[in-house]
Amino acid sequence: MSQIIAILNFEEGYVESPYLDTQGFPAVAGGIRIGPKGASLSNYLFLVPRLVGDTWKQCIVEGKAQEMRRNTAISRALKKCNSARSDVIYSLSCQIGVEGLAQLKTMLQLIAEENFSGAANNLLNSQWAQNASGRARRHAEVMRTGTYDIYRGLI
């Protein structure tokens, strides 16, 4: 059973009130961008309860899944993944976009070949991993093992 929402909430940190993300965009509910870069938080006077934020994230993930199915390399990789490995791909699509995910061509090819250890190593060597090292290590371990064990006690 997918744990994508719990993973996204852990990796992004869930905050009910609007805040500026690490790139300066207003965001809420653990990483959902709600406005243009540099916009004042005084424009966003609301809270997003956890149930609402989780539902919103699920809608975002479903939209990303539809977009990913239209990309041959991503779709081919997803067909070889169990739920845990799929969640890594969904998480990546939420953080770097489907276009950014599509640029991880070698990793996607290795997943399609069911070389999950190679895919994990490739992910750790990516530019993305340099900017998200903790998340990258956890995602690589899920890809390598096909389990959520690395998240035990965290989600």
The pLDDT assigned to 135 comes to: 94
**pTM, whole model, 2 decimals?**
0.91
- Six-digit token pair at 151? 């998240």
The pLDDT assigned to 131 comes to: 82
Let me know if 62 is exposed, middle or buried by CB neighbors in 10 A (0-12, 13-18, 19+): exposed
Q: What is the pLDDT along the chain (155 residues), one digit of tens a residue?
A: 899 999 999 999 999 999 999 889 999 998 899 999 999 999 999 999 999 999 999 999 999 999 999 999 999 999 999 999 999 999 999 999 999 999 999 999 999 999 999 999 999 999 889 888 899 999 999 999 999 999 999 99
